[in-house]
Amino acid sequence: MPHIRSSFRPLSLIALLTSLAACSGAPESPSEEPVGTQPQSALATRVIGYFPTWNGTVSAIQYDKLTHINYAFVVPTAQGGLTGPSSSDSRLLSLVQTAHSRGVKVSIAVGGWNDGNDSGFEQLSANASTRTTFINNLVNYVNQAGLDGVDIDWEYPDPGTSSQNFAALMKELGTALHSRGKLLTAAVVASGSTGGGVPVGTFADVDWLNIMAYDGGYPHSTYNYAVQSLDYWLGRGLPKSKAVLGVPFYGRSPSAYVGYAALVARDSQAPYKDIVGDVYYNGIATIQAKSQLALQRGGGVMIWDISDDATGSASLLSAIAQSLQSGGGTTNLLDNADFESGSLSSWNAEWHSGVLAHKVDTDTPYTGSYKLTHWASSAYQQITGQSKAVANGTYRASVWIRSSGGQPTLRLYVKNHGAAEVAVDVGSGAVTGWTKYTINSVTVTNGNIEVGVYSNANAGNWAAFDGFELVKL
């Protein structure tokens, strides 16, 4: 799991075992059908949520939006023992019972970031006897707690001897678990030198790999980083069905980790963008885009961690489920959405200051060769919008934005859809990097919708727009 674990929450909260390493997760929902009769949620792929020992409540988890939960963590000792919650831990048993009653499988996650201390794994894996002790302890733990499998989170086996020992451990553990009908998975680094510590031969020993595509510099966990992570593992020969894309339910600034729910508490618009102050994270639009990427190129979505999700319409887990259940909503209904025609074709203009302040240009677009810009040498008010005849239903609108800041008002809006106008305000602060702003769950009742952007700006203020999107959910 990400390095964030130990800085995100103090180790003292979880004693020895709390290797605050980043993995995945999400929350909420119940039902009273017994195991075996409860149908699996209608998700188009796996959704695996890491649930930490130190945060969140079992009853708050959104079980209907998950297929698997990894309970994090127990930590190995050099002799093959386990530290952390026991197999009879009441919270663990409550999680297993509740999850099973809702058709969700539970594995125990072993390891974690643990302040970068992987000496337990290094030492136990180097000796056949301690590997056997460790495997026997894990099998007993799984059986006694009624678990469905094990997720190994060794951060990180290095190429060379460490990698060879990791391979031996995973092969032996896979044989022991699979012969008992249990799962074996592993959390792995997004890419890079330590990725080579997971040998290609191990791909056959695991049911899937949870790819930790976050903590990748600043801003962390961008969409492009997710693409690069899948490129790396698929390029090494990992089968698509075993490549599970990790997404974060937390943000990072240059100096801190902040849970997504805390970001929503700071800023009510947080679900609709990817930055609050200097904290970068994944809002609803980016999470849904990654979910679609995972559906198209991988075998599922993994979350670190579900205890930091927000509730209601701000929930990222709900956004993932909605994206996967809808099969994607990937058809963009807007014309000339990236301005690659080199013109404003299909877009309407309205201005209130005597100056037309929008144009299509080639200065640093988000994608392609062109973008839309609002700018004038005097104060201006500019609207650029597109009206579409659409089927009644629920839609999502989004756009990528950069700006100089200073505008009294800068927003993405949706109107003329049969209800009151809905908008997401960018705010007056500068948006230095391309950031996606989204309006989710817009209900159309009159067969029409208008999507656009509005600037009320001072002289010299500029805003750039690219990649507009309107998708039916």
**pLDDT tens track, the chain, 473 positions:** 644 443 333 222 333 333 333 333 332 222 222 333 333 444 668 999 999 999 999 999 999 999 999 999 999 999 999 999 999 999 999 999 999 998 899 999 999 999 999 999 999 999 999 999 999 999 999 999 999 999 999 999 999 999 999 999 999 999 999 999 999 999 999 998 889 999 999 999 999 999 999 998 889 999 989 999 999 999 999 999 999 999 999 999 999 999 999 999 999 999 989 999 999 999 998 999 899 899 889 999 999 999 999 999 899 999 999 888 765 455 789 999 999 899 999 999 887 777 789 999 999 998 888 999 999 999 999 999 999 999 888 888 999 999 999 999 999 999 999 999 999 999 899 998 888 888 877 999 999 999 999 999 999 999 999 999 998 87
CATH H-level superfamily of 4-325: Glycosidases (3.20.20.80)
**Rounded Cα distance, 308 and 75, in Å:** 22
Query: Which CATH number is associated with domain 348-472?
Result: 2.60.120.260
Cβ of 441: how many Cβ atoms within 10 Å? 13
pLDDT at 438: 86
Q: Is 253 left (phi over 0), alpha (psi -120 to 50) or beta?
A: beta
Yes or no: say if 170 and 203 are a contact pair by the CB < 8 Å rule: no
CATH 2.60.120.260: which residues of the chain?
348-472
CATH 3.20.20.80: which residues of the chain?
4-325
| Among the listed residues 197, 198, 186, the one whose alpha carbon sits nearest the alpha carbon of residue 149 | 186
Q: Prior bond to 73 cis, omega within 30?
A: yes
- Please state whether the predicted TM-score (pTM) of the whole model is above 0.85: no
Q: Is 362 left (phi over 0), alpha (psi -120 to 50) or beta?
A: alpha
pLDDT at 417: 97
Torsion of CA 404, 396, 28, 12, to 10 degrees: -20
pLDDT at 193: 82
CA distances from 13 to 54, 66, 113, 119 (A): 7, 26, 15, 21
**Rounded Cα distance, 391 and 136, in Å:** 58
User: What are the φ/ψ torsions at residue 453 (nearest 5 degrees)?
Assistant: -130, 150
